[in-house]
Amino acid sequence: MAAKTSRPSQFASLEFILGAFLTTVICFAVLFSDVLFPGADKIDLMARLTKPFVSAAHPLGTDPLGRDVLARVVAGGKISLLVGFTSVIGAVVFGVLMGLIAGYYRGFWDMVVMRFADLQLAMPFILLAITFIAIVGGSLTNTIILLIISQWVQYARLVRGSVLTLREREFILSARAIGVKDWRIILQHLLPNLIGPVIVLMTLNVANNILLESSLTFLGLGVDPTIPSWGGMLADGRTYLQTAWWVSVFPGVAILLTVLGLNLLGDWLRDSLDPTGRTSR
């Protein structure tokens, strides 16, 4: 019986190790891509469409312009990680603030947040993206802004819900009774008590936003196609699917592994930060 009960925790630690390993290795490779894998934009028409696993100079082959696929995949990670992290930070800052205000003061702001939540539920991301990009045009900054617009509501709803239960608890009531200022109650008493689920959602959303950015760029609605990015490489590769499968395979593997690493970490975090979730595992 002992083995049986220890299994979930063994699995959890395996999940953490694998998730942390993938995330660290990928982040490290991408951050130091210029040093580790230089030449992402170097065109070498003599070596065009080199097959993978045959040339030591191009271990993952080359694309139709003779650019090294490995170097481009690693360099392309910069866009994905940049978009993933900055968009989530932006959405968290704005969303958490709105959620705190909505939950603490109720009234007008509460209504605003909840109506935005209704809107967000009704409009799929991709439709919002098509409309938004049709107006402002596709670019790195606009992709990040779009992701923030579409996601802040998630954090606002999550935080609002926690604040609604927390604000009736005795430690908040007593803080108010002794005349602690509102902003101090919000920042010092409420915020630390609801940050756990926010962090879990953040991890999962970095993963999700990397997926969304690559879809947008794949569709031609995201980042400038001349910058190496996973979605852009996959869009290019589609044309050569019949002749050069590797151009379409490796950027996708990179997305899959990055997102999987973050999802594993997020899943592990959810279980370790949320003791009630553990019982339902």
Residue 16 sits in the site that holds other proteins (CB under 8 A)? no
Chain Cα centroid distance, residue 18: 18
CA distance 201 to 180: 30
What's the min distance (Å) between Cβ of 129 and other proteins?
Answer: 9
Of 280, 148, 279, 117, give the one whose Cα is nearest residue 212: 148
Total of chain residues touching other proteins, rule CB under 8 A: 46
| Helical H segments across 32-139, by residue range | 33-36, 69-105, 107-122, 125-136
Residue 1 sits in the site that holds other proteins (CB under 8 A)? no
Chain Cα centroid distance, residue 51: 32
Residue 181 sits in the site that holds other proteins (CB under 8 A)? no
- The 123-162 site mask, x for binding other proteins (CB under 8 A), equals xxxxx--xxxxxx---------------------------
191 neighbors 167 (Cβ within 8 angstroms): no
- Spatial neighbors of 69 by CB under 8 A, at least 6 apart, are 52, 58, 60, 61, 62, 63, 246, 247, 250
Residue 20 sits in the site that holds other proteins (CB under 8 A)? no
* Nearest CB to other proteins, comparing residues 43 and 119: 119
- Per CB under 8 A, the list member of 49, 248, 272, 273 interacting with other proteins is 248
CA distance 21 to 7: 21
- Per CB under 8 A, the list member of 2, 35, 56, 121 interacting with other proteins is 121
Residue 242 sits in the site that holds other proteins (CB under 8 A)? yes
- Per CB under 8 A, the list member of 17, 45, 93, 241 interacting with other proteins is 241
Query: How far from 73 is each of 45, 61, 224, CA to CA, in Å?
Result: 19, 11, 16
Of 145, 158, 156, 138, give the one whose Cα is nearest residue 90: 145
CA distance 229 to 103: 39
What's the min distance (Å) between Cβ of 262 and other proteins?
Answer: 8
Residue 4 sits in the site that holds other proteins (CB under 8 A)? yes
Residue 193 sits in the site that holds other proteins (CB under 8 A)? no
* Nearest CB to other proteins, comparing residues 50 and 208: 208
- Per CB under 8 A, the list member of 234, 236, 269, 270 interacting with other proteins is 234
Residue 255 sits in the site that holds other proteins (CB under 8 A)? yes
216 neighbors 143 (Cβ within 8 angstroms): yes
Residue 238 sits in the site that holds other proteins (CB under 8 A)? yes
Residue 109 sits in the site that holds other proteins (CB under 8 A)? no
CA distance 119 to 100: 20
Site residues (vs other proteins, CB under 8 A): 4-5, 7-8, 11, 115, 118-119, 121-127, 130-135, 207, 211, 214-215, 218-219, 221, 234, 237-238, 241-242, 245, 248-249, 252, 255-256, 259-260, 263-264, 267, 280-281
